[in-house]
Each structure stands twice: as structure tokens, then as C-alpha cells.
Structure 1
Amino acid sequence: MQKIQTTNQTIWYDDSVLNDPPEQCCEPEYWQQQNKIIGSAQGRGTTWFIALDKMDAALRHYRRGGLFGKLIKDHYIFTGWESTRSYQEFQLLNTLIEAGVNVPKPIAARTVKRIFCYQADLLSEKIPNARDLVAILQEESLSKEIYQKIGTEIGKMHAAQVNHTDLNIHNILIDDLDNVWIIDFDKCYQQDGSDWKESNLSRLSRSFHKEVNKRQIKWSEDEWQHLISGYSSI
């Protein structure tokens, strides 16, 4: 990891992936000028998809959710560069990759200090030819083996003591080679003990049930047991 720091800005980046100027890599306007934007997605804000020289990437600006997010959209209290959400997620993704968990590769993180607050951005790998479980299960059921793979990937994440505080089926992807990926580690962290792991799994189970009712996904309670079988194999 390389770092560029000025009075009011710090950028951490992986120079083995990023060939473009690090100072510009979190600016959508720069990528537009380079004609490298290949798409976008809407969530709390716009995620831009970018064609880098070595891989496709996703650029996300950190935004608040909920009622508070309507008042203060994208500012956070600054308590130190390494306490910022962009740096924390960048580091956590690297920790998970070292632990053998399939997560997007972090490419660059930026924090811009605004007196007492900061704004942040993250540039990370866009998993090629992958869709989330909601999109897939709206069209077809998944095999026992895929559910076991999902459980195994979550088991590896938990073995690395990473608490995914928003583990739901929108944040689990399957690519065209049937590899399982876990995404969106904002506000996630490493945690001692094991009590919280059951809470992660319960949240995921509720997510399946919610989408059965909301989007009529093709899923049954029996398939949860295949996932747990894979999880328990770690």
C-alpha cells in the first residue's frame, strides 16, 4: 500500500493495480474525461463502474443512511486518518483477502478532511460477471453445492473474526464460474469471541425470508440447512 498525504487529504492506494494518477482516482469527472466509465448503479448515491487497465473497478462515495443521512449526507466526525471509514474498509478487505475470503480487491481509498469532519471514497474491484443472490433467485433456484459454498465463504470470514454488520443476500454475489463473493464491508470490523457470529447468520436468514415475501425469490427453509452445512465445514 502506498500513501499520499497533504494537510487536508490522504489517499491510500495499490500501485500494482492503479496506473492512473492516485490524486484523481476518486474523482468521477476524471474518469469521464478519460472515457473509462462503463456504467453506474444507484444506491444511497451513485456507484461508478470504471475500466482500469488491469481490472474493472467500482467507485463509491460514502453516504449516510437513515433519517440522519437526510440531514448530513456525507460528512463524518474526524478522529484520525486511520479511523476513517475508507481506510478501515480498505484495510479490512486486505485482511480478508489474506485470510482466503473472496472479497473485492481494494484499489484506493481517499479521505478529505473538512475542519472537524471528513468525506470519503473507496475504489475497489468490480467482480466480473457476477450478480447478487436476489437477482439470481428471482429467476432460478440454486443448487445444494452453491449454498454450501456460500456457507463456507461466510465461515472463512468468521474464522478471520470479521463481523459483517450488514450480511444480507444483496451483499453475496455469484459469478459465472459459481464462485461466491461477499461485498460491502463499510462499518464492519474484526471482533473477538463468537457470540456475534450467530447474529450475523440470523440477519442473513431474515434477509432470505424478507425477499421471499417481497420479491418471491425461489428459496425454501430446507436450503438454509445446506448453507449451514458449508458454514460448519470450516
Structure 2
Amino acid sequence: MQVISSTNTRIWFDEALLDAEPERSFDPQYWQQRGAMSGQARGRGTTYFIETPVLPMALRHYWRGGLLGKLIRDQYIFTGWDNTRCAQELQLLQLLAEGGVRVPRPVAARAVRCGVGYRADILTEKVPGAQDLVAVLQLRAMAPAEWAEVGQLIRQMHDLGVCHTDLNIHNILLDNQGQCWLIDFDKCSQRKGEAWKQQNLDRLLRSLRKELQRFSILWVEDDWEALMAGYRHNE
């Protein structure tokens, strides 16, 4: 990653993937003026989807959630550039991608200091033609081999020591080639030990059971056994 620094701003970027001026690439209007904006999605904030000759990208601003988020919408305490949420997510995605885990490639990140705090943005690869597993399972059941691939992908992540603190079926994608991806690594980290791995898996199982009740997804408990068979495949 290349780095651009000033008194109040730091930008990290991969010059091979970013087909834009790094300083302007976090401004949605910049992409709009270039005719590169392809859509957007609303959640806690707005994610902008961008098409470039190099790859499709997603631009996201970091917003706080919960009660604190109603008071301080998008600022975090600054304790060093490498401790910013965007820098940590960028580094984690780079580690996973280089380790062979199918995750969106990190493109760029920016942190801007404001007093004792900072605001942040991140640009990542947008997985083309992908749906999360909730959307997939509302349309069809997945085969045991597909569940096994999900399990293998999670195991690859765990073998690199990465704990996904929000592992649920909204954060697992299936692309138009039938390949699985993991997304949303904000607030995730590398950890030692083993207990957290089971906690990740327990969270995912709760997510499946919850969405079964909410959306009547096409999932049965036996599918979990297929996932775990994939997870344990290389043991």
C-alpha cells in the first residue's frame, strides 16, 4: 500500500487498483462527475457503487451505531493512524486476500483528524453479481457441497487467526460463478487461542436459525452438518 500523509489526513491506497486521484476518490460527487457511479445501497449509511476500468468498487463512510451513534454520528477517538478503523480493516483484508481467503480486495482508505477524534472512509472491491445468503436462501436451497465450501472458507479465515466478530449470513455472499465470499471486517481482528473460533461458528448458527424464523429461508439443520464437514475437511 502507498501512503499519502498530511497534518490531519492519511490515505492508504493500492496504486494498481485505484484508477483515480487518491485525494478525491472518497468523494461520491467526484465519481458522479466521472460517470462512474453505478448505484448505492442504504444501511447505517450509504454505500456507493463505482465502476472503473480496473474493477468495480464500493465506497463506504464509517458511521457509529447504537445509542452513542445518535450523539456522535461518525467520529472516533484518535490514538494513532494505524489504530484507525479504516487502517485496521484495510490491513485485515490485505492479510486475508494474500492468504487465499475470498474477500473483497482492499483498494484505499482515508482517516481525517478532527480535534481529538477522526472520521474515516474505505474503498474496497465490489463482488460482481453477488447476493448474500439470505437472498439466495429465499429463492432456493443450497446443496451440501455449497455449504461445505462456506465451511472451508470460514476455516481458511480462522487458520489465519482472524476473528469475524459479526459472522452472519448477511456477511456471506454467493457470486454469479457460485463462489462464496466473506465481507464486512470492520471491528474484526487477529486473535490467539481457540475459543473465539467456536464463538464465531455459534453466532453464524444463531443467524441461520433467526433468518429461518424471519424469512422462512430454505435451510434445515442438516445443512449445518454439511458446513461443519467442510470446516473440518483438512483436519
RMSD of Structure 2 on Structure 1 (CA) = 0.6
Aligned residue for 1:138, secondary structure, equals helix
State the partner residue of 2:90.
90
Per the TM alignment, residue 19 of structure 1 is displaced from its structure 2 partner at its CA by 2.0
Alpha-carbon offset, residue 68 of structure 1: 1.2
How many pairs are equivalent? 234
Measured after TM superposition, the shift of residue 99 of structure 1 is 1.2
Matched, 1:74 2:57: no
Deviation of 1:57 after TM superposition, in Å, equals 0.2
Q: Using the alignment, how far apart are the partners of 2:62 and 2:17 within structure 1?
A: 22
- What secondary structure, in the 3-state scheme, does the structure 1 residue paired with 2:63 have? coil
Q: Deviations over 1:86-118 (max 9, x none)?
A: 000000000001111000000000000001000
CA deviation profile, 1:168-209 (whole Å, cap 9, x unmatched): 000000111111100000000000111100000000000000
Map Cα deviations across residues 9-66 of structure 1 (whole Å, 9 max, x no partner): 0000000011210001111111111111000001100000001221100000001111
Q: How far is 1:120 from its partner?
A: 0.3
Of 63-72 and 181-190, more deviation after overlay is shown by 63-72
Aligned mates of 1:138, 1:126 — CA distance in 2: 22
Give the TM-score taking structure 2 as reference length.
Answer: 0.98
Percent sequence identity is 51
Range with greater deviation from structure 2 (153-162 or 25-34): 25-34
Q: Structure 2: which 5+ runs fail to align?
A: none
Amino acid at match of 2:50: I
Correspondences of 1:171-190 after superposition (within 5 Å): 171-190=171-190
Question: How far 1:81 sits from its partner (Å)?
Answer: 0.3
Where do 4+ consecutive residues of structure 1 move more than 2 Å? none
**Structure 1 spans left out of the alignment, 5+ residues:** none
1:132-151 pair list within 5 angstroms: 132-151=132-151
Deviation at 1:8?
Answer: 0.4
Q: Is 2:34 the counterpart of 1:28?
A: no
Letter in 1 for 2:79: T
User: What amino acid is aligned across from residue 125 of structure 1 in structure 2?
Assistant: E
- CA-CA distance at 1:74 after TM superposition: 0.5
* 1:162 match: 162
| Residue type of the alignment partner of 1:146 | E
1:37 alignment counterpart: 37
Alpha-carbon distance in 2 for matches of 1:25, 1:52: 12
CA distance in 1, matches of 2:53, 2:71: 38
- Supply the distance in 1 between the matched residues of 2:222 and 2:187 (Cα, whole angstroms): 31
Q: Distance in 2 between matches of 1:108 and 1:138?
A: 34
Per the alignment, residue 19 of structure 2 pairs with 19
